[in-house]
Amino acid sequence: MEDIRISDMMVVSLARLLKNKENAFHGVASIMPMVAIMLSRKVHNKELTYLNITGGVNIEDAELTISTDGNNLFQSSKSVVKLTDIFDLSARNKLDIAFLSCSQVDQYGNINNSVIGNYHNPKVRLPGGAGSAVLLPTAKEAIVWKSKHDTRSFVENVDFITAKGNVSYVVTPKCIFKRVDGKLKLYELYPFETLDSIIENTSFSIDHEGFSVSLPPTGEEMIALNQIDPDRLRDSEL
Protein backbone atom coordinates (compact mmCIF):
# COMPACT_ATOMS: atom_id res chain seq x y z
CA MET A 1 0.00 0.00 0.00
CA GLU A 2 3.00 2.32 0.41
CA ASP A 3 3.13 3.02 -3.33
CA ILE A 4 -0.63 3.46 -3.79
CA ARG A 5 -1.77 7.08 -3.84
CA ILE A 6 -5.25 8.45 -3.23
CA SER A 7 -5.60 9.29 -6.92
CA ASP A 8 -4.83 5.67 -7.82
CA MET A 9 -7.50 4.41 -5.44
CA MET A 10 -10.08 6.85 -6.80
CA VAL A 11 -9.43 6.09 -10.47
CA VAL A 12 -9.42 2.34 -9.86
CA SER A 13 -12.66 2.63 -7.89
CA LEU A 14 -14.29 4.54 -10.75
CA ALA A 15 -13.06 1.98 -13.27
CA ARG A 16 -14.43 -0.94 -11.26
CA LEU A 17 -17.88 0.68 -11.20
CA LEU A 18 -17.96 0.43 -15.01
CA LYS A 19 -17.98 -3.37 -15.10
CA ASN A 20 -20.94 -4.65 -17.16
CA LYS A 21 -21.81 -1.15 -18.45
CA GLU A 22 -22.35 -0.52 -22.17
CA ASN A 23 -21.10 3.07 -22.42
CA ALA A 24 -19.74 5.94 -20.35
CA PHE A 25 -19.37 9.68 -21.04
CA HIS A 26 -17.25 12.42 -19.50
CA GLY A 27 -17.14 16.14 -20.15
CA VAL A 28 -14.57 18.89 -19.54
CA ALA A 29 -12.26 18.99 -16.49
CA SER A 30 -12.69 15.25 -16.01
CA ILE A 31 -9.22 13.76 -15.74
CA MET A 32 -10.08 10.98 -13.31
CA PRO A 33 -13.14 9.75 -15.25
CA MET A 34 -11.17 9.95 -18.51
CA VAL A 35 -8.41 7.74 -17.13
CA ALA A 36 -10.91 5.47 -15.35
CA ILE A 37 -12.89 4.74 -18.53
CA MET A 38 -9.67 3.90 -20.39
CA LEU A 39 -8.56 1.70 -17.49
CA SER A 40 -11.87 -0.15 -17.36
CA ARG A 41 -11.69 -0.82 -21.11
CA LYS A 42 -8.25 -2.36 -20.68
CA VAL A 43 -8.84 -4.40 -17.55
CA HIS A 44 -12.49 -4.79 -16.59
CA ASN A 45 -14.81 -4.26 -19.54
CA LYS A 46 -13.35 -4.47 -23.03
CA GLU A 47 -16.83 -4.00 -24.56
CA LEU A 48 -17.36 -0.62 -22.84
CA THR A 49 -17.94 2.21 -25.32
CA TYR A 50 -15.99 5.34 -24.37
CA LEU A 51 -17.64 8.67 -25.27
CA ASN A 52 -16.02 12.03 -24.60
CA ILE A 53 -17.00 15.65 -25.00
CA THR A 54 -14.46 16.20 -27.79
CA GLY A 55 -16.49 13.85 -29.97
CA GLY A 56 -14.21 10.86 -29.65
CA VAL A 57 -15.43 7.29 -29.47
CA ASN A 58 -13.28 4.41 -28.15
CA ILE A 59 -9.99 6.27 -28.50
CA GLU A 60 -6.91 4.24 -27.64
CA ASP A 61 -3.28 4.98 -26.80
CA ALA A 62 -3.88 8.73 -26.66
CA GLU A 63 -1.16 10.97 -25.30
CA LEU A 64 -3.08 12.53 -22.44
CA THR A 65 -2.90 16.19 -21.46
CA ILE A 66 -4.38 18.20 -18.61
CA SER A 67 -7.30 19.09 -20.89
CA THR A 68 -10.10 16.58 -21.37
CA ASP A 69 -11.46 18.52 -24.33
CA GLY A 70 -8.42 18.45 -26.59
CA ASN A 71 -7.79 17.14 -30.08
CA ASN A 72 -5.76 14.27 -28.61
CA LEU A 73 -9.05 12.74 -27.44
CA PHE A 74 -10.40 12.73 -30.99
CA GLN A 75 -7.51 11.79 -33.24
CA SER A 76 -7.86 8.01 -32.94
CA SER A 77 -11.65 8.06 -32.66
CA LYS A 78 -13.55 5.16 -34.21
CA SER A 79 -16.42 7.51 -35.12
CA VAL A 80 -17.76 10.97 -34.34
CA VAL A 81 -20.33 11.88 -31.69
CA LYS A 82 -21.65 15.39 -31.13
CA LEU A 83 -22.67 16.75 -27.74
CA THR A 84 -26.25 16.97 -28.97
CA ASP A 85 -26.01 13.24 -29.72
CA ILE A 86 -24.97 12.61 -26.11
CA PHE A 87 -27.98 14.52 -24.80
CA ASP A 88 -30.22 12.65 -27.22
CA LEU A 89 -28.72 9.31 -26.19
CA SER A 90 -29.34 10.17 -22.55
CA ALA A 91 -32.88 11.40 -23.17
CA ARG A 92 -33.65 8.06 -24.85
CA ASN A 93 -32.35 6.25 -21.74
CA LYS A 94 -29.43 4.78 -23.68
CA LEU A 95 -26.56 6.49 -21.83
CA ASP A 96 -25.40 4.07 -19.15
CA ILE A 97 -23.00 6.30 -17.21
CA ALA A 98 -22.52 10.07 -17.07
CA PHE A 99 -19.64 11.35 -14.94
CA LEU A 100 -20.24 14.61 -13.08
CA SER A 101 -18.55 16.60 -10.34
CA CYS A 102 -19.65 19.55 -8.22
CA SER A 103 -18.80 21.86 -5.36
CA GLN A 104 -21.39 20.45 -2.97
CA VAL A 105 -23.26 17.16 -2.76
CA ASP A 106 -25.86 16.40 -0.12
CA GLN A 107 -27.24 13.30 1.59
CA TYR A 108 -29.78 12.84 -1.21
CA GLY A 109 -27.24 12.96 -4.03
CA ASN A 110 -28.28 16.45 -5.17
CA ILE A 111 -25.38 18.46 -6.58
CA ASN A 112 -24.57 22.16 -6.45
CA ASN A 113 -22.27 23.91 -8.86
CA SER A 114 -24.11 27.25 -8.93
CA VAL A 115 -23.67 29.27 -5.72
CA ILE A 116 -22.52 29.03 -2.13
CA GLY A 117 -24.96 30.86 0.12
CA ASN A 118 -28.17 32.55 -0.91
CA TYR A 119 -28.75 32.46 -4.66
CA HIS A 120 -29.61 36.18 -4.84
CA ASN A 121 -26.75 37.26 -2.56
CA PRO A 122 -24.18 34.45 -2.75
CA LYS A 123 -20.91 34.19 -0.90
CA VAL A 124 -19.40 32.52 -3.97
CA ARG A 125 -20.67 32.39 -7.53
CA LEU A 126 -19.74 29.02 -9.03
CA PRO A 127 -19.26 28.12 -12.73
CA GLY A 128 -22.72 26.60 -13.22
CA GLY A 129 -24.10 23.25 -14.15
CA ALA A 130 -23.45 23.08 -17.92
CA GLY A 131 -25.29 19.95 -19.06
CA SER A 132 -25.71 18.36 -15.62
CA ALA A 133 -29.37 19.34 -15.27
CA VAL A 134 -30.08 17.40 -18.46
CA LEU A 135 -27.82 14.39 -17.88
CA LEU A 136 -28.42 13.73 -14.19
CA PRO A 137 -32.14 12.92 -14.51
CA THR A 138 -31.95 11.19 -17.91
CA ALA A 139 -28.82 9.02 -17.87
CA LYS A 140 -29.37 5.53 -16.52
CA GLU A 141 -26.76 6.30 -13.85
CA ALA A 142 -24.63 9.28 -12.88
CA ILE A 143 -21.40 8.76 -10.99
CA VAL A 144 -20.21 11.80 -9.06
CA TRP A 145 -16.56 12.14 -8.19
CA LYS A 146 -15.25 14.69 -5.69
CA SER A 147 -11.60 15.61 -5.26
CA LYS A 148 -12.24 16.80 -1.66
CA HIS A 149 -14.08 15.11 1.16
CA ASP A 150 -14.85 17.60 3.91
CA THR A 151 -17.85 19.06 5.70
CA ARG A 152 -18.10 21.98 3.27
CA SER A 153 -18.39 19.62 0.31
CA PHE A 154 -20.60 16.91 1.84
CA VAL A 155 -23.51 18.82 3.31
CA GLU A 156 -26.92 17.94 4.71
CA ASN A 157 -28.64 20.03 2.04
CA VAL A 158 -26.95 21.78 -0.87
CA ASP A 159 -27.25 25.58 -0.97
CA PHE A 160 -28.73 25.36 -4.47
CA ILE A 161 -29.85 22.31 -6.44
CA THR A 162 -28.04 22.63 -9.76
CA ALA A 163 -29.10 19.11 -10.74
CA LYS A 164 -30.74 16.06 -9.23
CA GLY A 165 -31.60 12.63 -10.49
CA ASN A 166 -29.99 9.27 -11.09
CA VAL A 167 -26.86 9.49 -8.97
CA SER A 168 -25.80 5.93 -8.19
CA TYR A 169 -22.37 6.40 -6.58
CA VAL A 170 -20.22 9.21 -5.18
CA VAL A 171 -16.48 8.53 -5.20
CA THR A 172 -14.30 10.60 -2.88
CA PRO A 173 -10.66 10.61 -1.69
CA LYS A 174 -11.80 8.61 1.35
CA CYS A 175 -14.58 6.27 0.33
CA ILE A 176 -17.43 5.38 -2.00
CA PHE A 177 -21.04 6.25 -1.21
CA LYS A 178 -23.92 4.39 -2.86
CA ARG A 179 -27.35 5.95 -3.21
CA VAL A 180 -29.90 3.60 -1.66
CA ASP A 181 -33.60 4.49 -1.32
CA GLY A 182 -32.82 8.09 -2.21
CA LYS A 183 -29.99 8.67 0.28
CA LEU A 184 -26.23 8.22 0.27
CA LYS A 185 -24.97 5.24 2.23
CA LEU A 186 -21.38 4.25 2.91
CA TYR A 187 -20.58 1.51 0.40
CA GLU A 188 -16.81 1.06 0.56
CA LEU A 189 -14.12 2.47 2.81
CA TYR A 190 -10.61 2.80 1.38
CA PRO A 191 -8.08 0.53 3.13
CA PHE A 192 -6.03 3.50 4.37
CA GLU A 193 -9.06 5.33 5.85
CA THR A 194 -11.16 4.98 9.02
CA LEU A 195 -14.88 5.18 9.63
CA ASP A 196 -14.28 7.95 12.18
CA SER A 197 -12.55 10.05 9.52
CA ILE A 198 -15.54 9.68 7.18
CA ILE A 199 -17.96 10.68 9.93
CA GLU A 200 -15.84 13.69 10.97
CA ASN A 201 -15.58 14.99 7.41
CA THR A 202 -19.24 14.59 6.43
CA SER A 203 -21.96 17.01 7.55
CA PHE A 204 -24.84 14.57 7.32
CA SER A 205 -25.47 11.44 9.35
CA ILE A 206 -24.01 8.41 7.55
CA ASP A 207 -25.68 5.04 7.28
CA HIS A 208 -22.68 2.71 7.38
CA GLU A 209 -24.36 -0.60 8.04
CA GLY A 210 -22.87 -3.38 5.94
CA PHE A 211 -20.08 -1.35 4.31
CA SER A 212 -16.98 -3.13 3.05
CA VAL A 213 -13.32 -2.18 2.71
CA SER A 214 -12.15 -1.58 -0.85
CA LEU A 215 -9.58 -3.97 -2.25
CA PRO A 216 -6.33 -2.17 -3.08
CA PRO A 217 -5.49 -1.79 -6.77
CA THR A 218 -4.19 -5.01 -8.23
CA GLY A 219 -0.87 -5.31 -10.02
CA GLU A 220 -2.72 -5.60 -13.32
CA GLU A 221 -4.71 -2.44 -12.60
CA MET A 222 -1.61 -0.44 -11.63
CA ILE A 223 0.37 -1.58 -14.69
CA ALA A 224 -2.47 -0.57 -17.01
CA LEU A 225 -3.07 2.67 -15.10
CA ASN A 226 0.56 3.74 -15.43
CA GLN A 227 0.57 2.85 -19.13
CA ILE A 228 -2.51 5.02 -19.70
CA ASP A 229 -1.40 7.91 -17.50
CA PRO A 230 2.42 7.76 -17.20
CA ASP A 231 2.65 11.44 -16.24
CA ARG A 232 0.17 10.95 -13.38
CA LEU A 233 -2.21 13.64 -14.53
CA ARG A 234 -4.69 12.02 -12.14
CA ASP A 235 -2.77 13.57 -9.25
CA SER A 236 -3.64 17.08 -10.47
CA GLU A 237 -7.22 16.83 -9.25
CA LEU A 238 -6.18 16.45 -5.60
Per-residue pLDDT of the chain (238 residues), as tens digits, is 558 999 999 999 999 999 999 999 999 999 999 999 999 999 999 999 999 999 999 998 888 999 898 888 888 888 999 999 999 999 999 999 999 999 999 999 999 999 999 999 999 999 888 889 999 999 999 999 999 999 999 999 999 999 999 999 999 999 999 999 999 999 999 999 999 999 999 999 999 999 999 999 999 999 999 999 999 999 999 9
Query: Sheet of 154-155: strands edge to edge?
Result: 111-112, 104-106, 154-155
Q: Is residue 124 part of a domain?
A: yes
Q: Is residue 204 part of a domain?
A: yes
Q: Is residue 209 part of a domain?
A: yes
How far is it, in rounded angstroms, from Cα 146 to Cα 34? 14
Q: Is residue 56 part of a domain?
A: yes
CATH number at residue 183: 3.40.1080.10
Q: DSSP state, 217?
A: P
**Domain hosting residue 60, numbered range:** 6-237
Q: Is residue 1 part of a domain?
A: no
How far is it, in rounded angstroms, from Cα 160 to Cα 62? 37
Domain count along the chain: 1
Instruction: Kindly report the pTM of this predicted structure.
Output: 0.95
Paired residues of 25 in beta bridges? 51, 98
Q: Is residue 212 part of a domain?
A: yes
Q: Is residue 227 part of a domain?
A: yes
